[in-house]
Amino acid sequence: MSEIINFDHASATRPLDEVAKSMQPYIRDLYGNPSSLHLEGQKIKDAIDKARAQVAALINASPEEIIFTSSGSESNNFALKGVAFALGKKGRHIVVSEIEHFSVLQAARSLEKLGFEITKVPVDSNGLLDPDDVKKALRDDTILVSIMHANHEIGTIEPIREIAGIVKARDILFHSDGVQTVGSVPVDVKDMNLDFMSLAGTTFYGPKGSAALYIRKGSRINPLIDGGTQENGRRAGTENVPGIVGMGTAAEIAARDMTMRVDFVTSLRDHLIESLESKIEHVSLHGHRTLRLPNNVNFGFEYIEGESILLMLGTFNILASSGSACTSRALKASHVLLAIGVSHAIANGTILFTLGIDNTKNEIDLLVEKLPPIVERLRMMSPLYKK
């Protein structure tokens, strides 16, 4: 079988060799508990401290502002519920956007059941938030605003600095889900004026199960996991040492190679967008054309359904993902696409290609060669398509 061509980096990236190598000693040989005084506990604690500094440097934070978690979803839940539990007596109102990741939306929904009120700010047809809409949503009892830095499906990068300015002027805590941006584009939490930011090692060639929440010094938040004093008392439980060490390595390399990576992946992205738009009729690019993640290409293909496209691409070992109801377990079309006004029919015919540093121009060219006949073939089968 020939090599897999991965255009689904939003789901997972392949950990770098250096990452795997750095994790190796901590999988078996250095198995001690970092909280122990014996079994080289201190050596392991030092490794965690090093990783904390590496991750902090990636986003211009201080090491003590990084709390390791198990996933981007945990970090998002931690930010929303942790702030709600800490400030619930002060206020019960939380603002999010309509296109947040499910881990923000579902956490907000859980809080709603506990008596919190949630306002969802809409986005325009490019998926862009108007900072003024956030301003209008703020109330005297608002305790937290959570707006993602960039969207995981359509790649639109939100004006976070401007929104943070508005929110902070009202002395309200501000969280941004940076899972799609940290490690992929330059992020500076100080410059952006954030109180909290979620990030995940899986998106920047680190291991699964490695993620973090940036907590600005002095920001009020309660732990979700109570117990020991790990992570400065903010998240109990023995640390995922190999994962943390691996993410630290991945963060250091991401910071070092940032400009090169952004330039390379952006060039692949633009080449793919231009090629598909020139070769296939009745396609629409979803998301903002320029305020866009370097790795994101999201197209709606009219008259056909996404899973069928993915299955046919799969026969060439090309992997991507879809906004189609048929590919989701819930059989629902993507809430992000519906929020930007895409019809159900086109949402069901949407394919998301997320590129990465291990892709090549040849792979893009192969996709550009294979996809048009697939689209044509499926359109010829479609009762909606009249040539």
Partner 1 sequence: MNTPYSEKVMDHFMNPRNVGEIEDPDGIGTVGNPSCGDIMQMYIKVKDDVIVDAKFKTFGCGAAIATSSMATELIKGKKIDEALEITNEQVTQELGGLPKVKRHCSVLAEQALQSALDDYYKKKGVPSPIKLKSEEEMEHDEAHDE
Q: Which residues are marked as active site?
A: 326
Three-state secondary-structure class, residue 184: coil
Give the span between the Cα atoms of 384 and 303, in whole angstroms: 5
Tokens of 229: 């004093």
Q: Dump strand ranges (E) for 122-210.
A: 142-146, 173-177, 196-200
Q: Please say which residue, 222 or 284, places its beta carbon nearer to partner 1.
A: 284
> At its nearest, how many Å lie between partner 1 and the CB of residue 328?
9
What is the nearest approach in angstroms of partner 1 to the Cβ of residue 383?
Answer: 4
Q: Which is nearer to partner 1, 4 or 169 (CB)?
A: 4
* Cβ proximity to partner 1, 12 vs 224, nearer residue: 12
Where along the sequence are the contacts to partner 1 (CB under 8 A)? 303-308, 311-312, 314-315, 317, 324-327, 329, 331, 333, 343-345, 348, 380-384
C-alpha 67/C-alpha 212 separation (Å) is 5
Q: Which residue has the tokens 């579902």?
A: 106
Cβ closer to partner 1: 184 or 354? Answer: 354
Smaller CB distance to partner 1: residue 119 or 350?
350
Structure tokens at 311: 């299955």
Evaluate whether 142 touches 87 at the Cβ level (below 8 Å).
no
Q: How far is the CB of 9 from partner 1 (least distance, A)?
A: 17
Helix (H, G, I), strand (E, B) or coil at 135: helix
Q: Select 230 or 334, whichever has its Cβ closest to partner 1.
A: 334
Q: Are strands 117-121 and 142-146 parallel, antiparallel or unpaired?
A: unpaired
Shortest separation between residue 50's beta carbon and partner 1, angstroms: 38
Nearest to 364 by CA among 285, 229, 231, 264: 264
Percent helix / strand / coil, the chain, rounded to 5: 45, 15, 40
Contacts of 67 (CB under 8 A, 6+ apart): 78, 212, 213, 214, 215, 231, 232, 234, 235
Q: Which is nearer to partner 1, 20 or 366 (CB)?
A: 366
Compute CA 66 distance to the chain's CA centroid, rounded to the nearest angstrom: 17
What contacts 340, CB < 8 A, 6 or more positions away? 99, 123, 124, 125, 126, 127, 154, 286, 287
With beta carbons less than 8 A apart as the criterion, state whether 203 and 149 touch. no
Residue 341: helix, strand or coil by DSSP?
Answer: coil
Provide the minimum distance between the beta carbon of 219 and partner 1 in the complex, in angstroms, as a whole number. Answer: 42
Query: What's the min distance (Å) between Cβ of 350 and partner 1?
Result: 11
Strands 350-354 and 321-322, bridge-based pairing: antiparallel
